[in-house]
Copies of this chain bind each other. A is one copy, B any other.
Amino acid sequence: MKNILKINKCLISVSDKSDIVKFAKSISAKKIDIVSTGNTYKKLKQEGIKVKKVESITKFPEILEGRVKTLHPKIFGGILGDVNNVRHLKDMQNHKLEKFELVIVNLYPFEKVIEKTNNIQKCIDNIDVGGPSMIRGAAKNYNSTGVVIDKNDYKEILMQIKNYGGLTLDLRKKLAYKAFYRTMQYDTKISVWMSRNILDKEYSDLLISASKPNKLRYGENPHQAASFYSTTKNKSTFFEKLNGKELSYNNLNDLKLGLKLTAEFSSPTCVIIKHAIPSSVSESKDIKSAWDRAYMADSLSAFGGVVIFNKKLDEQLARKISKVFLEVIVAPSYTEKALKILRKKINLRIIKIKNIIKLVKTFEKDITFLPGGVLVQEVDKFKVSINKLKVVTNKAPSKKEKEDLVFAYKVVKHVRSNAIVIAKNKTTVGIGSGNTSRVDSVQFAIIKAKRSFLGKRDNLLGAVMASDAFFPFSDSIKIAAKANIKAIIQPGGSISDNKVIEETDKEKISMVFTGKRCFSHY
């Protein structure tokens, strides 16, 4: 075994003292000298472990309420001295520097403290200075020093000392990497906190650090590698999986859109997603009829889809659903009987998300990589409201039409631009998405509506239409009129608004403006 670093002396300075006594006892039994600071020293001493104070080496007391303890050449010489370097060895002899082959340090709990208090001074007191300095020094010198910042590594350290009498180079390298990753993480937290708490306005630098990657089978296509990185401390995901295979990249991407769309509704609603586009949506008096309507609205697209419910799923509904091939089902809860039925499909991913509306509030930003940079925007938080609609035509929509218009606008916000949604009885009957021209989306939404659930032309009778942006021309209105659309919702804002309203009046259709465009290209 090559490149084993024998451990003679160990420096321990830990804020989180769990497991440290056991660890120190074990290395002490291996005749390793232990040097320690303040409270760590006290704790080890109490437990009867042989330990020396840092001050016995520095001949300098702890000062400034502990701000300066280890920042001394006698300590850092022992950390940074490279025993493979003759000039280093000479300096170490001349200045009687004792080598620390092992440095065990964890940091003041800045991250935890800022979550508990708004007291600025208390937070600042918990910014560790000596700790990161020791960690960084030891990590730089991984050739001659092992550095441990994570108590989960104690076991492996002890095993290597037991088996090899010291640490392998491979382990020291891994520990060094972990050390710099830790200081990076720590200073990321500090700089974000500072920008939010001590500066007048939040600095807008972009900092994203995520770890614990959960490797996915692949990305959008089998030849693309992909991972889901966690930005939370615990490994828990935002959902609970009750059955089926792991969620794929495309499932997660569909889920994102589906959850955002579902969060628009509080009444019982069923949303069906395919290829990150809603294929149909229905809001109804109960969740069972929401499914019936949504499924019938576009049963062709529902095949292999991701289906999201915002209410508890029961046995009766489970029976209905299980007749259709689906990839993913999401609901806030399930009855035991419903689960039993659904679990018969061993591949079906059954997902539980308790509070979709609350979860979606955590979506804050959209992000896109460009060469040499990152494009970031706030998510679209606009909520369409029935009270704020502006009627612009001679004819006003009826109360029922207004409700359908608001429903359709909530959906169209999440359909890829150019987006058109035709709806009736709070159910989508035709969705035109991702077209380069608005009039195409109108035309294609109508084609889809005609083959929709009733299977008859009068499907469209009494239907309403939503557009995610203004109509640049009145051609779309003419096509809508021919298809029997009776009311239209759109943001307005075109220089051609007057012409478009004129045409709409001529066709005896009512039209309302929301004032807010809702383009969406993801």
Shortest CB-to-CB span from A433 to chain B, Å, is 5
Most chain B C-beta atoms within 10 Å of own C-beta, residue among A181, A359, A364, A379: A181
The reply to whether the CB of A133 lies closer than 8 angstroms to some CB of chain B is yes
Provided the pairs A63-B77, A91-B64 are in contact, do residues A213 and B220 lie with their beta carbons within 8 angstroms?
Answer: no
Q: Which residues of B contact A520 (CB under 8 A)?
A: 220
Mask, A482-522, CB within 8 Å of B = 1, is 00000000000000000000000000000000001111111
Provided the pairs A367-B369, A369-B367 are in contact, do residues A184 and B207 lie with their beta carbons within 8 angstroms?
Answer: yes
Provided the pairs A275-B434, A366-B219, A416-B434 are in contact, do residues A231 and B187 lie with their beta carbons within 8 angstroms?
Answer: no
For the complex formed by this chain, how many copies does it contain in all? 2
Q: Which residues of B contact A386 (CB under 8 A)?
A: none
Once the chains bind, are A231 and B374 in contact (CB under 8 Å)? yes
The reply to whether the CB of A452 lies closer than 8 angstroms to some CB of chain B is no
Provided the pairs A63-B95, A220-B520 are in contact, do residues A208 and B177 lie with their beta carbons within 8 angstroms?
Answer: no
Once the chains bind, are A440 and B444 in contact (CB under 8 Å)? yes
Once the chains bind, are B372 and A301 in contact (CB under 8 Å)? no
The reply to whether the CB of A323 lies closer than 8 angstroms to some CB of chain B is no
Once the chains bind, are A227 and B137 in contact (CB under 8 Å)? no
Once the chains bind, are B221 and A519 in contact (CB under 8 Å)? yes
Mask, A230-242, CB within 8 Å of B = 1, is 1110001110000
Shortest CB-to-CB span from A375 to chain B, Å, is 6
Shortest CB-to-CB span from A41 to chain B, Å, is 18
Once the chains bind, are B249 and A375 in contact (CB under 8 Å)? yes
Q: Which residues of B contact A156 (CB under 8 A)?
A: none
The CA-CA distance from A408 to B487 in the complex, in Å, is: 39
Shortest CB-to-CB span from A383 to chain B, Å, is 11
Once the chains bind, are A369 and B366 in contact (CB under 8 Å)? yes
The reply to whether the CB of A277 lies closer than 8 angstroms to some CB of chain B is yes
Seed contacts A64-B91, A303-B472, A435-B444; 10 additional CB < 8 Å A-B pairs: A176-B194, A206-B229, A230-B373, A249-B377, A275-B434, A277-B435, A300-B439, A301-B436, A434-B434, A522-B522
